[in-house]
Amino acid sequence: MIKDTIKQMMKKALFKKSKGVERYPDDSKILRGYNRCLTFLIGYPTYIKNIFNFGVLRFLFGHPYKRTINRNLYIVAIIKNEGKYLEEWLVYHSLIGVKGFIIYDNGSSDTTRDIINKYKDKFNIDYNFFPGKSMQMPAYRDAVERYKEENIWLLTIDADEFIVPVTVGSITEWLNSISDNVGQVLIGWMIFGSSGHVKSPDGLVLDNYRAHATNKHITDYKPIVKPDYVVSANMPHMYNVIGKTIDENGARQWFYPYSGLVGSRPASKNKVRINHYYTKSLEDYDIKTKRGDANNAGKNLKSMNEFKVQDRNEEQDKLLDRYINELKRLLN
């Protein structure tokens, strides 16, 4: 009872009351300062707890911050019946320098397995058949545990998300330039809408859906972690790690920057971003709704109201034009 009361008090203190404005930034310097203060007060004890869970002696003497240089970039994803778009997703990420894929198949019945077999050796795909309900976090925890001894950066995304170098030449080289004491980098979403498509169009996702939200639209982040720095994985957007969690500008993130937090600001997306094709066409969105949520099988998060919130088409984008022709060539 007391625990629930404390949770409710914290929720009121941290989160905006109005559900209609949480996607837009608070311009008040006072609220932004309030945000920084509260997130530090909440996040710092978690940081200390992570060290104790990792092991204080191990942290101090057995695990020096190490091996940032020459880490390759891998992706972990859990998928189900994404065969229509999976090939483009794999080829694109290989094209921009991803060196390995850890794929958990949550019981696909479409062409997913055929596509995996086609690229398994070429793209270094670690395929795992992983059926069941609410298997997202178990999949991520399994990947982190199995790859803790590997010298890699591990990006956690879904099949409707594409990581994009905005101003950096190479995402891997940029990551390897980051300080050794960083265990996690949070990369901001750019939400792409339906671009007016009702029916699912032929062709590439990256070619068909070019309209997105403005930079002021607040959404979520996805993590890139060093598996050997991970203490636990409890949510898909931020892991518990030793070392620092930062955004692309190097700003310390003590607590997950929820869009609904008082004083929240949009993610910086000047160097690297994640294009999130959340809705695609209305037809695609309807299929997505029926497929269900990988993290919580008992909860339908995808309603038509959510489609309206996420169908953002304010600005046209040409950032990925540099890859389109080569991507088409490789796919053909």
pLDDT above 70 coverage of the chain, percent: 86
Task: Report yes or no: 42 and 255 within 8 Å, Cβ to Cβ.
Answer: yes
Across the chain, mean pLDDT equals: 88
Write down the pLDDT at residue 50. Answer: 86
pLDDT value of position 141: 98
Domain hosting 282: range is 28-331
Count each helix (H run) and each strand (E run) in the chain, helices first.
11, 13
Q: What is the pTM of this model?
A: 0.89
pLDDT of residue 102: 99
Give a yes or no: residue 14 inside a domain. no
Q: Is the dihedral of CA 28, 33, 36, 42 positive or negative?
A: negative
Going by pLDDT thresholds of 50, 70 and 90, the confidence category of residue 21 is: very low
Residue 11 counted as domain residue: no
Q: Give yes or no for a contact between 207 and 145, defined as CB atoms under 8 angstroms apart.
A: no
Q: How many CB atoms lie within 10 A of CB 6?
A: 10
Average pLDDT over residues 112-130: 97
Is residue 218 one of the residues assigned to a domain? yes
Q: Which segment of 20-24, 80-84, 211-215 scores lowest on mean pLDDT?
A: 20-24
pLDDT by residue (tens digit) across 282-315? 999 988 887 765 555 554 556 778 888 889 999 9
Q: Are 212 and 158 in contact, with CB atoms under 8 Å apart?
A: no
CA 129 to CA 234: how far, in whole Å?
A: 21
Does residue 3 lie within any of the structural domains?
no
Strands 315-316 and 211-212: antiparallel
Distance of CA 305 to the CA centre of its chain: 22
Residue 23 lies in a domain: no
CATH number for 216? 3.90.550
pLDDT for position 71:
95
The answer to whether residue 153 is domain-embedded is yes
Task: With respect to residue 4, please indicate whether it lies within any of the assigned structural domains.
Answer: no
Averaged pLDDT for residues 142-156: 96
* Closest alpha carbon to 278 in 184, 157, 127, 115: 157
Total domains present in the chain: 1
The more confidently predicted of residues 45 and 12 is 45
Q: Quick one: pLDDT at residue 138? A: 98
Q: What is the mean pLDDT of residues 264-269?
A: 84
pLDDT in tens, 225-245: 999 999 999 999 999 999 999
- Is residue 327 in a domain? yes
Tell whether the model's pLDDT for residue 260 goes beyond 80: no
**pLDDT score at 266:** 83
